[in-house]
Copies of this chain bind each other. A is one copy, B any other.
């Protein structure tokens, strides 16, 4: 069931960093994105793959983690992602990218989850700096960074409480809790 895979695919931010992911696996995840829908079939997305420690480290330096966990600066050494897929939008193909990167990112992470991996879509990116250190093509815009690795944290979904707070939080055991709105709250009529 795809729903089970969707439930299993929780945003994950701590990993077994020594678990290696090879480039062929990343290519296969991007192939899942390639075969997904694209607005007007324009396919303006391009991808940067990283699974070596030097490139990973350049990417790590230019992203921010878990906005709601104010006291947590992000995964420490040894718990960082083993790989990344950066989704770019090629402006020579289209000036705008609609929600193509959302479609693509979901396909990539479902592919990764099925392989026992996990990851996180990261939008908090020092875009100019990342563009520079990775010498990305000027016509490409960074849309999303997807961190991928072998999950080293437990994530649970729970209902949004009476106060309506949707901020995720981490308990004393390190379990990450994610409040999700109910079906009845999000379906109108």
Contacts and interface: CB of A to CB of B under 8 A. Distances in A.
A85 to B, nearest CB: 9
A34 interface: yes
Contacts of A40: 67-68
A98 B102 contact: yes
A31 interface: yes
Contacts of A25: none
Nearest to A40: B67
A32 B180 contact: no
Contacts of A137: 188
A189 interface: yes
Interface of A is mostly: mixed
A40 B67 CA distance: 7
Given A48-B189, A101-B99, A166-B43, A1 B34 contact: no
A183 interface: yes
Nearest to A144: B99
A175 interface: no
A53 interface: no
